[in-house]
Structure 1
Amino acid sequence: MTNHRSRLCHIVIDVDDLDRGVTFWSAALDATEEPLAEQSRHIYRRLRLPDSDIRILLHATNDQKVSKERIHVDLETDDIEAEVQRLEMLGATRWDYQHERDHDFWVLRDPWGNEFCVLHVEFPELLSRRPTWPSDQS
């Protein structure tokens, strides 16, 4: 085996409408779309997060969601209810409120039914680097 390097580069999210996926996830994560080769844009769109070198890769599919995801995105926040309401305004829906091991969090679904979680702060030093969201995004 030769010496090599590897790292996590994408978190992939299935959507059936790439333009709507870019709109929703860009607003939800304060991400910006990165250019992709034209021959790939009908299947993929890539988003750059403001505070990470990991990218979100949106993947176009018409496959129906049939069960729980095995990989999902967690968003941390200092105000769960305010963040859930902001995401609902973008098109997310509340799915399940959880209380596990002394942690409260919401499981939401994006407009395609993909589950993701909104948690209390896990990494305060990283969250403190992010700007605050406006209290009224209407």
Structure 2
Amino acid sequence: MACRISELVIDCADAERLAVFWSEVLGYVELGREDDGSIEIGPPGAGFGGPQPTLILSPSGDPRTGKLRLHIDVSPTDRDQDAELERLFALGARTVDVGQTGAESWHVLADPEGNEFCLLRARIQTL
């Protein structure tokens, strides 16, 4: 038997702000809130345990230092990469430099709190 990723936890300063951002990016909805201020978002109609992992935005006062050792890659589902890039910018993403050469087929971006993620070129089907 094997494991699969069921949820990803992102420590953040403003869970509300990131929940809104990532819900818009991924087409997710809010699934629940915890007393500690954590917000879980996930695919509508599926939630935890579904075919896609949920995200938990967990408030933390710890400062982030350096480049993240793990990041999220996203792929467009209903438009090309350029159109999706413009949509992500409109949601609050920004371009970041982590040492890329400029020849990559992906774009390195950051969410409103500076967490890096990549927009890949390949369009994928939604589940």
The TM-score normalised by the length of structure 2 is 0.78
Mapped to 1, the partners of 2:8 and 2:113 lie a distance apart of 16
Partners of 2:2 and 2:95 lie apart in 1 by 39
Deviation at 1:48, TM superposition (A): 0.9
Tell me the CA shift for residue 23 of structure 1: 0.9
Root mean square deviation, CA, Å: 2.6
Map of 2:39 onto structure 1: 45
Counterparts of residues 1-138 of structure 1 (less than 5 Å): 6-36=3-33, 38-40=34-36, 42=37, 44-49=38-43, 52-77=51-76, 79-96=80-97, 98=100, 103-121=104-122, 127-129=124-126
Report SS of the residue matched to 1:104.
coil
Any idea what SS the aligned residue of 2:23 has? Answer: helix
Question: Could you tell me whether the CA contact under 8 Å between 1:14 and 1:59 is conserved in 2?
Answer: yes
Alpha-carbon distance change, 6 to 119 in structure 1, aligned in 2, over 3 angstroms? closer
State whether residues 49 and 56 of structure 1, in contact with CA within 8 Å, keep that contact through their aligned partners in structure 2: no
- State the percentage of identical aligned residues: 33
Higher relative contact order (CA closer than 8 Å, sequence separation 6+): 2
Which secondary structure does the structure 1 equivalent of 2:40 belong to?
strand
Runs of at least 5 residues in structure 1 that lack an aligned partner in the other structure = 131-138
Q: Give secondary structure in 2 for the equivalent of 1:85.
A: helix
Where structure 2 has 5 or more consecutive residues not aligned to the other structure, the ranges are 45-49
Count of equivalent residues: 119
Question: Secondary structure of 1:35's match?
Answer: strand
Secondary structure at the counterpart of residue 67 of structure 2: coil
Matched residue, 1:133: none
Q: Which amino acid aligns with 1:112?
A: E
Contact 1:98-1:106 within 8 A present in 2 as well: no
Decide whether the 8 Å contact of 1:25 with 1:31 is kept in 2.
yes
CA 120–99 in structure 1, closer or farther in 2 if over 3 Å, else same: farther
TM-score, normalised via structure 1 length: 0.72
| SS across alignment from 1:129 | coil
Assess if the C-alpha contact under 8 Å between 1:24 and 1:91 holds in 2: yes
